[in-house]
Chain A
Amino acid sequence: MTDTKAWTYLVVVNDEEQYSIWREGFPLPEGWREAGFTGSEQACMDHIDTVWTDLRPRSLREAQDG
């Protein structure tokens, strides 16, 4: 029977450039957009490990880094 491990996820990102994953086929909440990667939960997490290098929200990062 179905298993969350078998579901397909999307890598998504918000305006603060915070990344997350979202189950494919479900309506994506407002303020989030697809980041162009689709795969299993683990594949999405691995992808995010490579693209999300600074966990600070964008506005904070911009303020701090000037």
Chain B
Amino acid sequence: MTTTTTTPATGSTGSTDSTSRTPARPVDAYPMTSLQAGMLYHSSLHTRSATYHDQVTLELSGHLDEQALRAAAADVVAAHAVLRTSFDLQRFSEPMQLVWDHVEVPIEVVDLAGRDLVVARAGIRRRLEEERTVGFDWSRPPLLRILAYRLPRAANTSVTLTFHHAILDGWSLSLLLDELMRRYRAAGGGERLDLPAPRGSFREVVALERQAEANPESQAYWREAMHDAPLCRFPRHATAEKVEEVAAVRESLPADVVEGLTELARAASVPLRTVFLAVHLRLVALWSGTREAVSGVVTHNRTEIEDCDRILGLFLAALPLRVDVSLDDSWRALVQRVFRAELDLMPHRGVPLATIQRWVERGELYDVLFDFRSFGTYYDSDEGLPSLGVDEVEGFEQTNLPLAVNVIGAGNDVVLEARYDSAQFLPEEIEALLATYRAALRHCAITPDADPRPTTHLGVVGGVSVGGGGVVDVGGLGEVVGRVWEPVRAGLAGRLRGAGVGPAGAGSGECVVGVLMERGPGLVEAVHAVVGAGGVYLPLEPDFPDDHLGFLLADAGCTTLVTEPGLESRVRNLVEQRCPDAAVVVHAAGEVPGDAEPVSEPVVEPVSVDGEELAYVIHTSGSTGRPKGVGVSHRAVANRLWWMRDLVGITADDRVLLKTPFSFDVSVWELFLPAYVGAVQVVAGAGVHRDSAALVELVAAERVSVVHFVPSMLDAFLAEPALTAATEQERSARWGELRVVVCSGEALTPALVARAGELLPWVEVINLYGPTEAAVDVTWHRVRAGESPVPIGVAVPHTRIEVLDEGLQRVPVGVAGELCIAGVQVARGYVGRPGLTARSFVPDPYGTTGARMYRTGDRARITSVGTVEFLGRSDGQVKVRGVRVELGEVRAGLERDPWVRAAWVTHAAGADGGSLTGYLVPESGADSAARSPQVWRDHLAERMPAHMVPTRIVELTELPVTVNGKLDTTALAQLESSTVVEGVSEGGPPRTPTEVAVAQVWSDLLDPGRPLSVTDNFFDLGGHSILALRMAASLRTRLEVEVPIAILLSAPTVGQFAAELDRGSEGTREDRIVALRRTGDRPPMIFMHALGGQIFRYEPVAKHLGEDQPVWAIPAAGLTKGVAPQTDLDTMAREYAELIREAVPSTAYVLGGFCIGGNIAMEVARHLTAAGATVHAVLPVWSSIDEPVARASLEDDVVMMNHALAGGFADVEPADLIGLSPEEQLLAVVKGAAENNALQVTSTDVDEVRSYLDVFRANAHAVGHYQHASWAGRVVLFLPKDDEYIDLGDDQGWSGVAPDTTVQAIPGSRHTAVQEPHAIALAALMRQRIDEAMRLTAEPSDEENQ
């Protein structure tokens, strides 16, 4: 590549000619808008990231006319204040923007005309990508760069503008491009366009913003509008790395769709934008699984301002809009509702987002942004561009939102664009999203009167099933019982028949038979006999209290009881009290009916039953505390058994453990399936199911091959020392027959799966899910190592899983909804509870005619591979600061960490909006230091929005479980904090002075009155970007140190932040001495500040002094630090010398300074040489040994102010100031200076000006009354040739003090000599003089320097 030129000579156009010789001066200053501040904040968090850096490329045909481009750019910049604006985040009480009288646009021209086109294109692409990530120095306007390429062959040109979004919105960009191109064309023809300047100004936006913020109605509106609003979040894959990279997908909308939407807009008398917005909001709700949609919507605040359509600036705002999309049964009505919502918002749109966030006390209000852009762009200009055509415009803009949906275009040409962070979304997720936009836009366009709520119209497929989902005749349990019919059971069945238990259809209805027995062979016989006799069994556990047993008997309408001899008297008592009419049958295991109890009707064959008849009633806990008896049919149970047999592959060779209490429906397959397939049933004794040590031994001793666990029991099983302490060989010998472990009942964690794989690698783990209301289990999943989270899998045959929203509509893949079950396993209902049954068993919108489905109340989502992921109970949905959170999702997030063995999350409602506590059991071997609560929170924070990250993390050695082996949530809630490892909000009070200051400032900003601890986290306290900027400003004043806000990211707590600040100020004292170039092997050049105290003026010279020349500069004490100004030159010089030796250690230096900086430099040189260092030379620029300015300033305040504030250029007559108060005098000078474009300070704030004056006055005192002692060192005095006060023959008294003084003439006046372009010459001459001085020093004449 050949770079022809970079920044060129100024003054190439008429517009800048008059001002280019004078330094840029601020002509206006006003606060930044919140949006601008927010953008800068986000940019500052990611150095070398493209956040909020926008780029647009124009492809022009025709040769590049470089001069015309430069002239056009200069004129555009001259015409628009925002292009001459810089930002100052530091020196004022709030972030300010400063408008300068003139600035120069950096334009780089690269000539690739002779290159291969393909190679050139690739090079350009790389360069542009790099260009995007190059930061802007906010203090140096413009925040705009131009890169132009002469392209190969066809005499083409590309022009790329890279700018910071904080200065331009989309409309402004198109205005800018339009004007730039028109001016370019005119300049190419030797003309200069005379365009009237717009009358309004961007500063009015700031005023409007302030006005809106002060409006109580706006506050009331936003509080109401955002009260308890959901955070609508599109599903996305989680990623650990947070690399923001924007990708975009665009597609043109079909003409008929656009026409339909346009027609709908016309008929509804709303803008087309509103129709698109309505569809967007419908889809936001769809993809968030919510009734209400909340989306960021781009609006702009131009309309109140004069000439609003011609001003460049950042007028846009992105405000949350909230609409309930579940209320309207037509698109037309929804469009009207959205339009009303927009109108309601309109009067309050001036309020910045950050203020709304503060009002509603919430950080994130939306996660997706909608923008409708229909403005004309420059290439639509009907003037055309005859000599050059704009072939292509490529735009790049990056925002910090994960997803934006943009509708771009005008007329019938409309493009839909999804712009997304590819670190958060996968391309296929975006494609699925766009598919629903396509479907919904078409549905709305073609059938505007159709209901927008049914999601099938929106392109949602949904539903998980394998094969047919309809009702299939799978027979009844009779078949099962028939297979294994033998005298014991047949005999008992006969006795039951004798007691009145009969097959249905005989007029007796269904007979519920309570079975009250301990687990053992007798229990198995009894259950089989009940079912075989055509009865419905009701499990009654002997360890239930009598009260409870009595309730169950009565609730289920029990007519007969079977028990064993040892429990007979208890049963007879119960019967007497609760159901005196019921018969009692006593059965001992293996008992064959004898003569003692004659069988009225010997039964040898099982009765045949209808598949719809009930097989059992099992109670589940109810939300009101009253258990509900679920009646499950023969057909449902049979299906449950058949798929278990076929899918898990259970055969006659298996030995199946029966260990589940039979009041828990997992026992159903353990009871019946072995009998059916002819497998051996190993019956665990009473109580063994709770004893993991006994189970480990039993499984080994009985060579058990299949066993069913709830995960917490599997956890205990795998932790048994008998298993863990055994060698691999021993394990394989003792538990080698164990083939399958089936899990259900609780979430199965990846860590548990991993542990099973480690200890029993030959065992297959199968995860099941299902409620009692759908015959135990309806999904199954063969677990694979490394799955995280472990899915509950797919639907079993003859069932269908649906994930539905509140309106029972299917939600898209990845969206959480209620898990509903349809198909053959759905239970009949709750025995004796018709109303409750009707609410939970509802019409199936996707099933066969008249079918019902069961609403589980569980939350789930369907993954992109079609498996179901369980997310917890619906009542696990809680609100944290008004945002709905799925506790199950947070828990799954915690458990995804490979070092977390098990986790649970609880929610505490509270005045602070509620908070989450995460309980977790670390995997043994987890490094506790590396895995602190904070680390776990960080880990989670990488994958979830902040409100989902628990504020408190508690480590436990194990999760408490109930007798049934399920998690004991009550015990968890009662955990004493003594067993708890310290959570993050439990740190101590601040200790160090920095911590105290940080805590105080944060508390004032974030939570006034509350004392903060060292572990309080800025973001958890509600801190956001604007507050961060304010916090930095406040701390900077208080602590007098630099406060880089970016460290908040790595150090978000009071303690961490304070430590970072301390570390910063303990390092090099760079806040007192500034490196202009750090590297190089020459003796360091050090510049001293002048009267004003600032050092910015040395930057141009430093730049040109050479790569090998280190350059440093010392600003005045008291300028920005609040340190008392130094008024004694000798003290000042001694302090500066120490500073230099400490921060820039070297044996030799060169010192310099402008004006009194030269005087200071000589005194510093005196101290440095006294300390043993060599000073090759002192290089004063425009400096007098007597310093007349300083002295005059001391004698006359007006002179001082004139010099201090306006460099002597303020158009103020001293006589006019007589009689005015000091403050009025100050204002008069400021006004005069401003009128003369000569203001040297960047503020018109009186306090700010006064602090500047104080520094000026102190410096004047230090120098003005100082009598320099004579000095033997070398001095080269640089005097500007073109200065009216300078006579080159006069060395300004320097030789009187320093005999070895040489005068060097330099180009420019005293103001321009140190600026570009004269700085180039100055630097070259300085370098020459330094070389010369170094040569002379090397020659022996040392004694002079002593």
Contacts and interface: CB of A to CB of B under 8 A. Distances in A.
Contacts, number: 112
B846 to A, nearest CB: 8
A11 B999 CA distance: 59
A26 B807 contact: yes
Interface in A4-40: 4, 11-12, 14-16, 18-23, 25-32
B839 A41 contact: yes
Interface residues of A, dominant DSSP: mixed
Contacts of A53: 834
Nearest to B847: A29
A41 B888 CA distance: 27
A23 B291 CA distance: 14
Nearest to B834: A52
Interface in B55-76: none
**Which of the four size classes fits the interface of chain A?**
35 or more
Contact of A32 (B292, B324, B843): B843
Interface in A49-66: 49, 51-53, 55-57, 59-60, 63-66
Contacts of B227: 1
A50 to B, nearest CB: 8
B850 A14 contact: yes
Contacts of B851: 14, 29, 31
A63 B324 CA distance: 48
B807 A49 contact: no
A28 B842 CA distance: 11
Contacts of A11: 838
B610 interface: yes
A56 B327 CA distance: 36
Interface residues of B, number: 45
A56 B451 contact: no
B368 to A, nearest CB: 20
A42 B823 CA distance: 27
Interface string B835-849: 111110111111111
A27 B807 CA distance: 10
Given A15-B850, A63-B505, A1 B292 contact: yes
Nearest to B291: A2
A23 B839 CA distance: 11
B852 A18 contact: yes
Given A1-B228, A29-B845, A60 B612 contact: yes
B828 A29 contact: no
Nearest to A59: B612
B631 interface: yes
Contacts of A45: 835-836, 838-839
B829 interface: yes
A55 B829 contact: yes
A64 B504 contact: yes
A56 B850 contact: no
B831 A55 contact: yes
B838 A52 contact: yes
A14 to B, nearest CB: 4
Given A2-B291, A20-B852, A32-B850, A64 B509 contact: yes
B787 interface: no
Contacts of A60: 504, 610, 612-613
Contacts of B831: 55
Nearest to A65: B507
B806 interface: yes
A7 to B, nearest CB: 9
A57 to B, nearest CB: 6
B828 A16 contact: no
B834 to A, nearest CB: 4
Instruction: Please indicate which of the listed interface residues B504, B843, B852 has the most CB atoms of chain A within 10 Å of its own CB.
Output: B843
B74 to A, nearest CB: 55
Instruction: Please indicate which of the listed interface residues A15, A20, A45 has the most CB atoms of chain B within 10 Å of its own CB.
Output: A20
Contact of B454 (A19, A27, A55, A57): A27
Nearest to A26: B807
Nearest to B326: A2
B349 interface: no
Contacts of A48: 834-835, 838
A26 B808 contact: yes
Contacts of B689: none
Interface of B: 227-228, 291-292, 324, 326-327, 329, 451, 453-454, 504-505, 507, 509-510, 610, 612-613, 631, 806-808, 828-829, 831, 833-839, 841-852
Given A20-B843, A21-B842, A52-B834, 12 more contacts: A2-B326, A19-B837, A21-B839, A22-B843, A23-B808, A29-B845, A30-B850, A31-B850, A55-B828, A60-B613, A64-B610, A65-B507
8 contacts: A1-B227, A15-B850, A20-B841, A26-B453, A29-B843, A45-B836, A55-B831, A64-B510
10 A-B pairs closest in CB distance: A31-B850, A45-B835, A31-B849, A14-B850, A52-B834, A60-B612, A49-B835, A29-B843, A48-B838, A64-B504
